[in-house]
A and B are shown apart, each in its own frame.
Chain A
Amino acid sequence: QQQVKQSPQSLIVQKGGISIINCAYENTAFDYFPWYQQFPGKGPALLIAIRPDVSEKKEGRFTISFNKSAKQFSLHIMDSQPGDSATYFCAATPMEYGNKLVFGAGTILRVKS
């Protein structure tokens, strides 16, 4: 049972375009939603994260949009660059003792130059 559903599985975007990756969750106890970026042969690295008390968080070209009522959140990459080509994982956890992240299945992003 996948508690965090991520789509699409793969995405091809032209350089300069907007990349959008969506995630949905069921567990209402989740209250911390990070996105991780993973390059081939490397471990995942935190990209950006949001708490449900805000509906949007922006860091440079990366924005998380959060819809608490719909239990959905998404990552938007503006002005996508070839260097953004990587696998992106959404995740969720209750911010309790232990911080046990539940990951989505991942999205392979390719930005064409």
Chain B
Amino acid sequence: NAGVTQTPKFRVLKTGQSMTLLCAQDMNHEYMYWYRQDPGMGLRLIHYSVGEGTTAKGEVPDGYNVSRLKKQNFLLGLESAAPSQTSVYFCASSSLNWGGLTDTQYFGPGTRLTVL
């Protein structure tokens, strides 16, 4: 089991460029999440998905779009990158336990993005 994988690991963009971050999980989890981590601010939820074909906004969704076309993949897109989007991005996934409550979130290794 690879768990949660993210590509790429590092990326440098110029302001206005676009890119897509890919997250893949092999644990058959229903839920997937995208977070950004900034110094002194912890992790903040950008968007999340509760199943294939569904997405929802998190705490800081502006400037990002997501898609969940396949259960195992969750894509995060930046249409026009800005320096304020310089951050480390983490993907996570979780399952539903027997009580219908969500379970532990498993995190990927992160993508370090710099926008110049």
Contacts and interface: CB of A to CB of B under 8 A. Distances in A.
A97 B45 contact: no
Interface string B54-65: 001011000000
B110 A98 contact: no
A43 B34 CA distance: 12
Interface string A102-113: 111110000000
Interface in A42-59: 42-46, 49
Contact of A45 (B44, B45, B50, B107): B107
B37 to A, nearest CB: 9
B42 A43 contact: no
Contacts of B110: 41-43
A107 B84 CA distance: 23
Contact of A89 (B43, B48, B56, B94): B43
A9 interface: yes
A6 interface: yes
Interface of A is mostly: loop
Contacts of B45: 100-102
A22 B89 CA distance: 25
B50 A98 contact: yes
B109 A98 contact: no
Contacts of A106: 40, 42
B47 to A, nearest CB: 11
A44 B48 contact: no
A41 B59 CA distance: 24
A89 B107 contact: no
Contact of A103 (B42, B48, B56, B109): B42
- Ranked nearest first, the 4 interchain pairs of A and B with the lowest CB-CB distance are A99-B102, A43-B107, A103-B42, A103-B43
